[in-house]
Amino acid sequence: MPDTAPGGPFVPEQDAPSGRSLGMMKISEPTGDRKKRIASRHQSAHDRPWAVLPHALAILSLGLLAIGVPYAVLLAGDRADSGGFSWDFSMGLGFGALAIVTLQFALTGRLRWVTHPFGLDIVYLCHRYLSWGALGLMLGHFALLYVYHEPALGVLDPLEARWELTAGRVALVCFAGLVVTSQWRQPLRLPYEHWRALHLFLAIVGFIAAIAHVLGVGNLTDTPQKRMLWLGATLGWAGLLVFTRLIRPWRQLRNPWRVVANTAEHGDVHTLELAPEGAGLRRWKPGQFAWLKVERSPFSLVEHPFTISTAPENGPNVAFSIKSLGDHSADLSLTPEGARAYVDGPYGAFSVDRGADAEGFVMIAGGVGITPILSNLHALDARGDGRPVILIYGNPTLDEVSFREELAELRQRMNMTVIHVIDAPPADWDGERGKIDCDLLERHLPDGSRDWPHMLCGPGPMIAALERDLRALGVAERHIDFEIFELA
């Protein structure tokens, strides 16, 4: 059928239409020593399983230690007079909430040594769940005092109440606002840029108010050691704030990028190619993403995370493939050549570099979720990696299939099968149609692929359904990896 989008006519390369086998794809042959050597050569030491697992356990242990140490310090030495179990339990909930809030700044600070084992998207998801937990502890702290020790709360009028009690209520309102605006940002129609500014403001005010409340009330802070604990927490929080909001942007200011191309793709996607005017990206792996600012100061809060759709082997230039979805992405698609940009990255662990021992890969994408998978495919191609790849790519219509010519070219050079799945195909379409479901997966994924990494990227409901279907087909949880589409 004729195709008027950029790239010329498109002839669908449906390697495995419904009911057919995978043809000439070499999936039964064991991966040779040469293939394993190629894969291992591109896997850095800190990405090997023997390094990733201890690193992850160390980070988790540090997190538990950060929450547990305040209790050990507060309970050491002479104990303050107890007001009974309900009073002590309420105090414990309050201190636990503040310890988790302090930890949150480390989780959202984009610290590579924290995010490396898990991927930044997983760390942000953990941050979201911990935020709910911290808010629950705060509400429990307040509820126990309200039910069993109401006189300790004083009057609610901030003009008459003790300042330290008002500070505690301000902190509770700020943290509740953080959780509500983050969880329901889209239903509230809160633009991403405004949400980020509000998020930072509420976090700073809430933390300062919480520390002021703890020190002002004085419960369990009656010794120099205990006061030093909260001073240390405050200084650690301030240090993270200075690093993330001043030092890191200053480093970016010294390493600007320049937009050298803006290419229109199918599916209302634009690919921005950036060239470094200073140092390029360090420790860049295929499939990673970065935060992008265009024609703005590196100190600006207006930035968005986008997948780097090219491979490190094709650097030092990077490319971001951006779909116009509103919230600044539509403006970025109109970026002119020559525009100055700043890049914070790379981040993420959605990479074939984590699968050096894999016999092959199953990759499943929906819509613009193809971008991290495309980066991984380019890396495999550039390295001459001959391991088999099965790509299943779903889209609403044929016109919305991004990078289809590029995928066809990669297929010619690689040991790869491409299955396009079109929800509403044209009348002459002879490939797969509808949604990617369990029946379709069973048709196109041979038994020998069950132990391969299954890399998924797309909208949340699609990923949830695919996880369920893959498990039903016998794919172990450890072989399912996915990129979380939205970080906020």
The one-letter amino acid code at 367 reads G
Among residues 198, 233, 251, the one where a domain terminates is 251
Is the pLDDT reported for residue 443 higher than 90? yes
Counting the structural domains of the chain, the total is 3
- Could you tell me if 270 and 287 lie in one domain? yes
- Could you tell me if 361 and 268 lie in one domain? no
- Could you tell me if 324 and 472 lie in one domain? no
- Could you tell me if 233 and 313 lie in one domain? no
Residue at 9 is within a domain: no
What value does the mean pLDDT take over residues 407-416?
93
- Could you tell me if 284 and 339 lie in one domain? yes
For the ranges 83-97, 372-386, 469-483, the lowest mean pLDDT is seen at 83-97
What value does the mean pLDDT take over residues 165-193?
91
Is the pLDDT reported for residue 21 higher than 60? no
- Could you tell me if 337 and 379 lie in one domain? no
Residue at 385 is within a domain: yes
Query: Can you tell me the distance from the alpha carbon of 427 to that of 270, in angstroms, rounded to the nearest whole number?
Result: 28
Supply the mean pLDDT for the chain.
Answer: 84
Residue at 210 is within a domain: yes
Among residues 220, 251, 282, the one where a domain terminates is 251
* Max CA distance (Å), the chain: 82
3-state class (DSSP) for residue 28:
coil
Q: Whole-prediction pTM value?
A: 0.81
Residue at 15 is within a domain: no
- Could you tell me if 212 and 360 lie in one domain? no
Residue at 26 is within a domain: no
Identify the pLDDT of residue 13.
47
* Predicted confidence (pLDDT) per residue in 256-299, tens digit: 999 999 998 887 889 999 999 988 898 899 999 999 999 999 99
Write out the two tokens for 304.
């968005």
C-alpha dihedral (330, 259, 276, 239), degrees to nearest 10: -30
Residue at 96 is within a domain: yes
- Could you tell me if 187 and 334 lie in one domain? no
Is the pLDDT reported for residue 109 higher than 60? yes
- Could you tell me if 108 and 222 lie in one domain? yes
- Could you tell me if 278 and 359 lie in one domain? no
Query: Which domain covers residue 401, as residue numbers?
Result: 33-46+355-483
* Predicted confidence (pLDDT) per residue in 23-70, tens digit: 345 444 444 555 555 555 665 666 677 778 899 899 999 888 888 877
Q: Are strands 340-347 and 257-265 parallel, antiparallel or unpaired?
A: antiparallel
At 420, which CATH number?
3.40.50.80
State how far the alpha carbon of 460 is from the alpha carbons of 17, 372, 466, in Å. 26, 16, 10
* Predicted confidence (pLDDT) per residue in 315-330, tens digit: 899 999 988 776 577 7
- Could you tell me if 164 and 299 lie in one domain? no
Q: Select the more confidently predicted residue: 73 or 385.
A: 385
Residue at 23 is within a domain: no
Among residues 347, 379, 402, the one where a domain terminates is 347
At 291, which CATH number?
2.40.30.10
What value does the mean pLDDT take over residues 436-448?
93
- Could you tell me if 471 and 400 lie in one domain? yes
Sequence-distant (6+) residues with CB within 8 A of 294 are 259, 272, 332, 335, 339, 340, 341
Is the pLDDT reported for residue 3 higher than 70? no
Which residue, 235, 101, 80, is CA-closest to 168?
Answer: 101
At 116, which CATH number?
1.20.120
Residue at 2 is within a domain: no
